[in-house]
Amino acid sequence: MIRSIITGTGHYLPNSKIKNYHFLKNTFYNEKGLKIEIRNEEIIKKFQKITEIQERRYVNNFLLNSDIATIAAKRALTKAKIYKEKIDYIISAHNYGDIHPVSLQSDIMPSIAARVKNKLEIKNKRCRPYDMIFGCTGWIEGMILADKLLRSKYAKNILITSSETLSKVLDPHDRNSMIFSDGAGAAVLSAIEIKGENNGIIYYDTQCNNNEEIHYLSNGPSLNPHYKKSSINIRMNGRRIYEYALTEVPNMLKSILDHANLHLKDIKKILIHQANAKMDYAILKRLLKLYNYSSLNERIYKKLMPMTIQKFGNSSVATVPTLLDLILHGKLPSHEIKPGDTIIMASLGAGMNINGMIYRFPKNKR
């Protein structure tokens, strides 16, 4: 049977580490456009307690989204040991495209996938570039689309990239802006014949609530009515997203496991979108309760669900593939994934869209 197997992964993290004290000099405003009178030290302390973010990564001003996607893609291709001209599709997940370093205009024409193909110098005319604009859920949704193409025998090797330079679309007067960061991840998914084993991508599902939820994450002018640098600023209703996530994500993940005839005890790791530590822990806690595991302590939580948000922040589509690549290559202490292990990858993003995927690592790739 043809299975969709991850043959290589890669990621890119900018060198610039932005610690929380970086924001001490900011002037924050509320949603009414009024200056917040609370001291920045208190704002940052509360922010860190909720999100656990201590630092995040920002790209330098002239490094583009498509540049870092290409770096991650090259690393994934190297790990996969697949000649680049053998790639049938490039699916690039992102939300803002390339942001011009001066005008801060969003640019997605031509597509990021086409630019990645160009920067990889792929000459194959049958290599088709697609962009996946799906919020923070874009990389997993790209993997889902790739699996469908591979199973339909329309392709043999697909490169799925994820990248974002959110530091260029932040409102410096919005407290929520401290959560976001930059980064890129990538994977090569290949159609491989595996006999008698249910490996690779096993099951997945996607849920899209695009009614009033569509406004939970959006763009808008600065909260500071006098700020004119950019009209493209990411805007987040954290409370609404938190409530939505806790209501919808645990039930969906259990449904995915049920459809795959698996139990939570069969899962080695849950790789969840690194959005907000408090929210991610709450999602896991509710999922555990669905299996009557409410008594598990914090140590077990952290063993089952690796976290990187403390040091890398929320890099949108890049968080899950970056986390996966770090674990697979022994760069996340105390966490490992071995051949035969089964994991869940899950994400939540603008829309609101949520998705999840069960993946089992084959004992033999070929």
Please give the full DSSP string across 260-275, using - where no structure is assigned: TT--GGG-SEEEE--S
Instruction: Pick the closest to residue 145 from 117, 108, 185, 187 (CA basis).
Output: 187
Q: Are residues 177 and 102 part of one domain?
A: yes
Q: Are residues 161 and 209 part of one domain?
A: no
Distance (Å, rounded) from C-alpha 7 to C-alpha 79?
Answer: 7
Domain with 286, as residue range(s), is 200-360
> 70: alpha, beta or left, given left = phi > 0 and alpha = psi -120 to 50?
alpha
Q: Are residues 177 and 37 part of one domain?
A: yes
Q: Are residues 153 and 37 part of one domain?
A: yes
Amino acid symbol at 2: I
Q: Could you tell me which residues are beta bridge partners of residue 9? A: 187
Residue 179 lies in a domain: yes
Residue 260 lies in a domain: yes
pLDDT, one tens digit per residue, over 12-45 is 999 999 999 999 999 999 999 999 999 999 999 9
pLDDT at 296: 63
Residue 365 lies in a domain: no
Torsion angles phi and psi, residue 206, rounded to 5: -135, 140
Domain end point (choices 178, 193, 208): 193
Q: Are residues 178 and 268 part of one domain?
A: no
Distances (CA, A) of 305 to 196, 205, 264, 297, 353: 30, 20, 12, 13, 21
Domain end point (choices 193, 210, 238): 193
Q: Are residues 88 and 10 part of one domain?
A: yes
DSSP state of 213: G
Is residue 355 within a helix (H) or strand (E), and if so which, with residue range? strand 353-360
pLDDT at 230: 78
Distance (Å, rounded) from C-alpha 107 to C-alpha 165?
Answer: 12
Residue 217 lies in a domain: yes
Residue 163 lies in a domain: yes
pLDDT at 113: 98
Residue 300 lies in a domain: yes
DSSP state of 343: E
Q: Are residues 278 and 169 part of one domain?
A: no
Domain end point (choices 172, 193, 214): 193
pLDDT, one tens digit per residue, over 306-363 is 999 999 999 999 999 999 999 999 999 889 999 999 999 999 999 999 999 999 999 8
Does residue 210 have a pLDDT over 90? yes
Residue 92 lies in a domain: yes
H-assigned helices in 89-215: 112-119, 138-151
Residue 366 lies in a domain: no
CA atoms within 13 A on the CB side of 99: 25
| Residues in contact with 350: Cβ distance below 8 Å, sequence separation at least 6, in sequence order | 95, 135, 136, 216, 217, 218
Per the CB < 8 A criterion, the answer to whether 343 and 321 are in contact is no
Torsion angles phi and psi, residue 346, rounded to 5: -145, 150
CA atoms within 13 A on the CB side of 352: 21
> At 194, is the pLDDT very low, low, confident or very high (cuts 50, 70, 90)?
confident
pLDDT, one tens digit per residue, over 39-60 is 999 999 999 999 999 999 999 9
b (16+ CB within 10 A) / e for 250-264: bebbbebbeebebeb
Q: Are residues 218 and 188 part of one domain?
A: no
| Residues in contact with 267: Cβ distance below 8 Å, sequence separation at least 6, in sequence order | 257, 304, 342, 343, 344, 358
Q: How many domains does the chain have?
A: 2
On the question of a cis peptide bond just before residue 109, with omega within 30 degrees of 0, the verdict is: no
pTM of the model: 0.95
Instruction: Pick the closest to residue 20 from 322, 309, 323 (CA basis).
Output: 309
Q: Are residues 15 and 74 part of one domain?
A: yes
Q: Are residues 335 and 312 part of one domain?
A: yes
Q: Are residues 166 and 303 part of one domain?
A: no
Q: Are residues 189 and 80 part of one domain?
A: yes
CATH number of the CATH domain containing 260:
3.40.47.10
Structure-model confidence comparison of residues 1 and 185, the more confident one: 185
Distance (Å, rounded) from C-alpha 285 to C-alpha 253?
Answer: 12
Strands (E), 83-212: 89-93, 98-99, 106-107, 128-132, 157-165, 182-193, 200-208
